[in-house]
Amino acid sequence: MSASSLRAGSIAAGANVVPTTADPGSVGVVTSSLLRFDQPLSLASGQVLPAYELAVETYGVLNERRDNAVLICHALNASHHVAGVSASDPKDIGWWDNMVGPGKALDTDRFFVIGINNLGSCFGSTGPASINPASGLPWGAAFPVLTVEDWVHAQARVADHYGISRFAAVMGGSLGGMQAVSWAIECPERVAHCVVIASTPRLSAQNIGFNEVARRAIITDPDFHGGDYYAHNTVPRRGLSVARMIGHITYQSDDDMAEKFGRTQRQAVGGAAEGEWNYGYDVEFEVESYLRYQGEKFSRYFDANTYLLITRALDYFDPARTCGGDLARALSAATADFLLVSFSTDWRFPPERSREMVRALLKNGRPVSYAEIDAPHGHDAFLLTDPRYHAVVAGYFDRIALALNLGERARTTGVLA
């Protein structure tokens, strides 16, 4: 696609970013845009999605050579709103705002960063809550089950839209890391560097087990109505809330939860005197209160069908499956350089899973660096501000910038300032 058609094309142009002066490390106030793709998308399941829309945000400026673009892939509950402040809600800060911005580890002074809401998600992209053109009603249960590979193929058209033939890097944490790996396998010529954080080449039985419990909580909620709850003007809020509570436990380390909550009792509930039990089943401990709060908050804004869809895509991800379990062979198509980061207390996707990928990449002779950060926060550490973690990512992107002649870092802000 040429530059002129990019500007004049029928699809909306990139996000409109209005920098604010308050925080020099922030990309400022951001507006998302919706890209529509009318060419049918063939899916792994054999189904075909006739058309779809993806919600997108961008930060920084795409250079003339179009070689400074970085794609950020999001995890289960996140979105295309990676950095900055949402124009529609000043309290809505991007989920990776500590990582992406002018002078941050992924420096938007030099890189053009794209966030895309995954197909099937519920933050603007086509998903189960969208209208099925065939019926005029929400897709609901009829929305096709998607795989990580389907996401990559859907996202490749966003790259086409911006005229990006090759990303300087594709980067993601957790499920986003799986997408980054999948990008490197599915579209090797389009990924120069692959940054994979707190991720895994496949879910374990335990991981799938947790996902299944979450899905059963949703599906057995009487308000689920077989996935067509939209027609009943209801939402399986209780099931979704339980699903989120389970997720929250797996994102944190045992020590982290002990530190945050311990066995602290919730004050002033149930009428029991201080230090006494209520001898009932309502909230007694702080941890219960926290999980219920998180679950209820989540159930107000997240779509239950999307939760099912994304957890299933997680379950299915296993690039080695078609290579007799040989991960090195599965990764043999990749031509990217790799950076992997794991966190010592992440028991959801533990360091051993990252080492497995490192080993496979080494076997293939791929250039790979691997940092194993000794941090107490479990899986959630990839969203947090450990300076060692951010320094590794910053150092890696600075090398990419050097190779692309994008210039030196003009400022250092945020975690590393």
Partner 1 sequence: MTLAHSSAPITLRPDLARIEQWVKPGSRVLDLGCGDGTLLASLRVNRQVIGAGIEIDDARVIACVKRGVNVLQQNLEEGLALFDDKQFDTVVLSQTLQSMHRTEHILREMSRVAHEGIVSFPNFGYWRYGMSILAGRMPVSGQMPYQWYNTPNIHLCTLRDFEALAGELGMRIVERATFNESREIGVLPGWRSTLAVYRFACAPAVS
Dihedral angle of Cα 405, 410, 415, 417, to the nearest 10 degrees: 140
Can you give the length of the chain in residues?
417
Q: Which amino acid is at 146?
A: L
Question: Judged by CB under 8 A, does residue 365 bind partner 1?
Answer: yes
Question: Judged by CB under 8 A, does residue 193 bind partner 1?
Answer: yes
Phi first, then psi: what are they for 48, rounded to 5°? -125, 130
Which of 396, 409, 414, 415 is the binder for partner 1 (CB under 8 A)?
A: 396
CA-to-CA dists, residue 200 to 6, 188, 358, angstroms: 36, 19, 11
Nearer to partner 1, 191 or 287 (CB): 191
Q: Is residue 45 annotated as part of the catalytic site, yes or no?
A: no
Question: Judged by CB under 8 A, does residue 388 bind partner 1?
Answer: yes
Binding mask 88-127 for partner 1 (x = CB under 8 A): ----------------------------------------
Closest distance of CB 198 from partner 1, Å: 14
Question: Judged by CB under 8 A, does residue 185 bind partner 1?
Answer: no
Task: Name the one range near partner 1 by CB under 8 A: 39-47, 104-112, 235-243, 386-394.
Answer: 386-394
Q: Which amino acid is at 20?
A: T
Question: Judged by CB under 8 A, does residue 320 bind partner 1?
Answer: no
Q: Number of residues in contact with partner 1, rule: CB under 8 A?
A: 29
273 vs 21: CA distance, rounded Å: 51
Nearer to partner 1, 276 or 374 (CB): 374
Say if residue 372 is exposed, middle or buried (CB neighbours under 10 Å; 0-12, 13-18, 19+).
middle
Question: Judged by CB under 8 A, does residue 248 bind partner 1?
Answer: no
Which of 369, 376, 384, 412 is the binder for partner 1 (CB under 8 A)?
A: 369
Question: Judged by CB under 8 A, does residue 355 bind partner 1?
Answer: yes
161 vs 341: CA distance, rounded Å: 30
DSSP secondary structure letter of residue 171:
E
Question: Judged by CB under 8 A, does residue 362 bind partner 1?
Answer: yes
The catalytically annotated residue of 74, 161, 193, 379 is: 379
Q: Quick one: which of 410, 379, 392 has its CA closest to 105? A: 392
Phi first, then psi: what are they for 115, rounded to 5°? -110, 135
127 vs 140: CA distance, rounded Å: 8
Phi first, then psi: what are they for 169, rounded to 5°? -160, 150
Which of 111, 123, 370, 382 is the binder for partner 1 (CB under 8 A)?
A: 370
The catalytically annotated residue of 79, 174, 253, 299 is: 174
Question: Judged by CB under 8 A, does residue 188 bind partner 1?
Answer: no
Q: Is residue 390 annotated as part of the catalytic site, yes or no?
A: no
Phi first, then psi: what are they for 340, rounded to 5°? -115, 145
Q: Is residue 174 annotated as part of the catalytic site, yes or no?
A: yes
101 vs 357: CA distance, rounded Å: 29
- Which amino acids are annotated catalytic? 174, 346, 379
Contacts with partner 1 by CB under 8 A lie at: 192-193, 336-337, 339, 355, 358-359, 362-363, 365, 367-374, 388, 391-392, 395-396, 398-400, 402-403
